[in-house]
């Protein structure tokens, strides 16, 4: 059964809900989520929202911290807008009734996290800021918003000449296909953390939005930059969930099994060094055969300050009373994604992207802690303003593009999720080499990369579509990592150990038509954006 709307949003995280809130009340808006509305990375986010609301802080300082953490691989103007508009967005959120954690005198309780030079992290419910923020927006969701759960958006419906996105196809667990049509299709489906064996992400984060856009012909940028969170709870060879960076901000220290502090001699900020540095040191310590722990014995009233972490440890039989939490790094955030302009427009007319699915240029080579929820608030609002300003689109149907071949379930069933995770970690994990990357790319090409991007997916079930999308994202990340012959931010090459001047400002842009390496001071102008 087909459905028509004014705006269709794929995804249900903070960016999606913020967008829905600010769209004009006359629009019929449909939010599509392949699981449940509360099963998003935003909902489980333990960190807070970075914003300049303290008079002792400054926008300039927030911008500088963001640029340093991301190794100056940003659209600098966009970073400035993120910091300045973000402060206003957070104040607007508080004014709408959002309850933030406060000190005894009523002033906001501002936390400190890695690579920040000032206390500017706003929390709600201690380490449950994501859940509290999403619940706040859900409680106030306008009546013009319809939420449809349990349907996976898996393919963009394109005009016959493939220049315009007209809608999306979805599939439920029973295999039923539906088509949703709208002049504005927004991808806000999150990142691709599930392609790695250890991740802080929901297991459903298989890079759907990025793969959909790539197959539709959109440009994909900076996929080599995958942030690994330093501290995931690590039990019996598996990660069990995130240990918020705010724990280190409150005084937690990383130690090896002998009690020796890992970060003291590595970086001036010690345990609050940028995430790529901290994750690397933990990885190296573990590679040398030593277990790593987060020492929380100096943090008073830990259970009160970090109820989510406490509950996670209790569920996994890790006694908080001993003060040592076993940790290991895992994939956390994708700085790359679908190329967008300042408003969230992609290079395909009618198709937009916001949140972690998008490459907005604000995170550079390594995202600054707590800038992700801020990005969702800012770009959700900004895209709403853009769509609200557009002339009402004609809703007539056009003749659409169709794939000549449909991929068969039996071929997709041969793909292994677990094998891909292991191979991706070896090739494009925390440490990368030319040999491992080239080998993994050849493996993916032999498995059928061209078929994954040139065949329809109507005959596949949801599990097999996810596996195809995981393989596509693994390819995009690995190829970009192979091409970038330097180490910068979260991208670490043992065969190219330093930041190279000739790679400064250059971006690797991938489409189904080929690869472009862009550079210079005017990258934004060189990206063809359809308004």
How confident is the model at residue 393, as a pLDDT? 67
At residue 394, does pLDDT exceed 80? no
Report the side by side order of strands in the sheet with 507-511: 358-359, 337-339, 220-221, 507-511, 514-518
Asked about 507 being catalytic, the answer comes back as: no
Domain boundaries, the chain: 229-330
Terminal Cα distance for the chain, rounded: 30
Grade residue 395 by pLDDT with cuts at 50, 70 and 90.
low
Distance CA 332, CA 226 (A): 8
Percent of the chain residues topping a pLDDT of 70: 97
Grade residue 45 by pLDDT with cuts at 50, 70 and 90.
confident
For 349-378, the pLDDT digits (tens) are 999 999 999 999 999 999 998 999 999 999
At residue 113, does pLDDT exceed 90? no
Please name the residues in contact with 65: beta carbons below 8 A apart, sequence gap of 6 or more. Answer: 115, 116, 117, 118, 368
At residue 530, does pLDDT exceed 60? no
pTM for this entry: 0.92
Q: Nearest 5°: CA angle at 403, between 399 and 405?
A: 145
Yes or no: say if 519 and 507 are a contact pair by the CB < 8 Å rule. Answer: yes
Residues 408-424 have a mean pLDDT of: 94
Percent of the chain residues topping a pLDDT of 90: 89
Residues 457-466 have a mean pLDDT of: 97
Helices (H), ranges, 4-140 = 14-22, 59-69, 76-95, 129-139
Kindly state the tokens that stand for 69. Answer: 């953490």
At residue 43, does pLDDT exceed 80? yes
Q: Which CATH number fits domain 229-330: 3.30.590.20, 3.40.50.720, 3.90.700.10, 3.40.50.300?
A: 3.90.700.10
Yes or no: say if 455 and 466 are a contact pair by the CB < 8 Å rule. Answer: no
At residue 525, does pLDDT exceed 50? no
Grade residue 521 by pLDDT with cuts at 50, 70 and 90.
very low
Distance CA 166, CA 159 (A): 7
Please name the residues in contact with 124: beta carbons below 8 A apart, sequence gap of 6 or more. Answer: 48, 98, 99, 100, 101, 132, 133
Please name the residues in contact with 274: beta carbons below 8 A apart, sequence gap of 6 or more. Answer: 68, 69, 114, 115, 267, 366, 368, 489
Name the E strands within 101-225. 110-111, 121-122, 145-149, 152-158, 165-171, 177-181, 184-187, 220-221
The residue with greater pLDDT, 113 or 510, is 510
How confident is the model at residue 531, as a pLDDT? 26
How confident is the model at residue 145, as a pLDDT? 98
Grade residue 522 by pLDDT with cuts at 50, 70 and 90.
very low
At residue 520, does pLDDT exceed 80? no
Distance CA 420, CA 414 (A): 12
Please compute, for residue 499, the number of CA atoms within 13 A of its CA located in the half-sphere on the CB side.
12
How confident is the model at residue 416, as a pLDDT? 97
* Average pLDDT in the chain: 94
Residues 387-392 have a mean pLDDT of: 89
Kindly state the tokens that stand for 313. Answer: 């440890």
Grade residue 523 by pLDDT with cuts at 50, 70 and 90.
very low
The Cα-based distances of 437 to 193, 197, 426, 494 in angstroms read 18, 17, 9, 12
How confident is the model at residue 101, as a pLDDT? 95
The residue annotated as part of the active site, out of 71, 120, 275, 367, is: 275
Kindly state the tokens that stand for 60. Answer: 């300039």
Distance CA 407, CA 457 (A): 6
Host H or E run for residue 525: helix 523-526
Using DSSP's 3-state secondary structure scheme, residue 103 falls into coil
Yes or no: say if 14 and 355 are a contact pair by the CB < 8 Å rule. Answer: yes
Q: What is the dihedral of CA 517, 520, 523, 525, to 10 degrees?
A: -130
How confident is the model at residue 275, as a pLDDT? 84
Nearest one of 188, 182, 155 to 5, comparing CA atoms: 182
Q: How many CB atoms lie within 10 A of CB 59?
A: 16
- Summary count for the chain: helices (H), strands (E): 16, 22
Distance of CA 180 to the CA centre of its chain: 25
Q: How many CB atoms lie within 10 A of CB 179?
A: 16
For 291-326, the pLDDT digits (tens) are 999 999 999 999 999 999 999 999 999 999 999 999
At residue 274, does pLDDT exceed 90? no
């Amino acid at each position: 059964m087909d459905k028509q709307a004014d705006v269709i949003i794929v995804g249900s995280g903070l960016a999606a809900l913020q967008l829905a809130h600010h769209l004009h009340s006359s629009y019929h808006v449909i939010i599509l989520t392949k699981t449940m509305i509360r099963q998003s990375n935003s909902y489980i986010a333990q960190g807070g929202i970075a914003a300049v609301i303290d008079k002792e802080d400054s926008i300039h300082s927030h911008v500088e911290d963001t640029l340093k953490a991301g190794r100056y691989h940003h659209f600098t103007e966009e970073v400035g807008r993120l910091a300045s508009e973000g402060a206003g967005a957070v104040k607007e959120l508080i004014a709408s009734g959002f309850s933030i954690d406060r000190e005894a005198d009523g002033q906001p309780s501002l936390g400190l996290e890695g690579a920040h030079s000032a206390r500017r992290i706003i929390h709600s419910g201690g380490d449950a800021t994501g859940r509290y923020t999403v619940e706040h927006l859900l409680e106030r969701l306008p009546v013009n918003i319809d939420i449809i759960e349990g349907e996976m958006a898996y393919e963009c419906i394109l005009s016959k000449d493939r220049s315009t996105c007209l809608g999306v196809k979805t599939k439920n667990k029973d295999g039923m296909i539906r088509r949703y049509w709208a002049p504005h299709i927004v991808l806000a489906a999150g990142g691709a953390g599930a392609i790695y064996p250890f991740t802080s992400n929901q297991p459903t984060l298989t890079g759907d939005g990025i793969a959909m856009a790539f197959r539709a012909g959109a440009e994909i940028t900076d996929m080599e930059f995958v942030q690994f969170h330093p501290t995931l709870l690590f039990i019996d060879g598996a990660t069990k969930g995130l240990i918020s960076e705010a724990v280190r901000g409150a005084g937690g220290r990383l130690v090896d099994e002998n009690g020796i502090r890992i970060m003291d001699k590595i970086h001036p900020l010690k345990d609050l060094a940028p995430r790529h540095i901290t994750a690397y040191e933990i990885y190296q310590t573990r590679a040398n055969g030593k277990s790593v722990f987060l020492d929380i014995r100096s943090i008073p009233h830990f259970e009160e300050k970090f109820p989510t972490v406490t509950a996670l440890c209790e569920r996994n039989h890790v006694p908080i009373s001993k003060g040592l939490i076993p940790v290991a790094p895992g994939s956390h955030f994708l700085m790359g994604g679908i190329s967008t302009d300042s408003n969230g427009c992609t290079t395909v007319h009618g198709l937009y992207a916001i949140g972690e699915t998008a490459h907005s240029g604000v995170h550079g080579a390594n995202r600054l802690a707590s800038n992700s929820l801020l990005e969702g608030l800012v770009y959700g609002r900004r895209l709403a303003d853009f769509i609200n300003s557009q002339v009402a689109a004609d809703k007539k149907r056009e003749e659409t593009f169709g794939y000549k071949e449909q991929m068969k379930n039996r071929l997709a069933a041969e793909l292994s999720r677990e094998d891909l995770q292991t191979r991706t970690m070896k090739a494009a994990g925390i440490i990368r080499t030319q040999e491992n990357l080239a080998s993994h790319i050849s493996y993916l090409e032999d498995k059928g990369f061209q078929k994954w991007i040139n065949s329809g997916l109507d005959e596949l079930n949801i599990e097999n579509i996810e596996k195809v999308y995981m393989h596509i994202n693994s390819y995009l990340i690995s190829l970009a990592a192979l091409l970038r012959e330097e180490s910068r931010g979260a991208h670490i090459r043992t065969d190219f150990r330093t930041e190279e001047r000739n790679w400064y400002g250059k971006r690797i842009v991938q489409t189904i038509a080929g690869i472009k390496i862009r550079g210079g001071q005017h990258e934004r102008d060189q990206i063809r954006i359809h308004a």
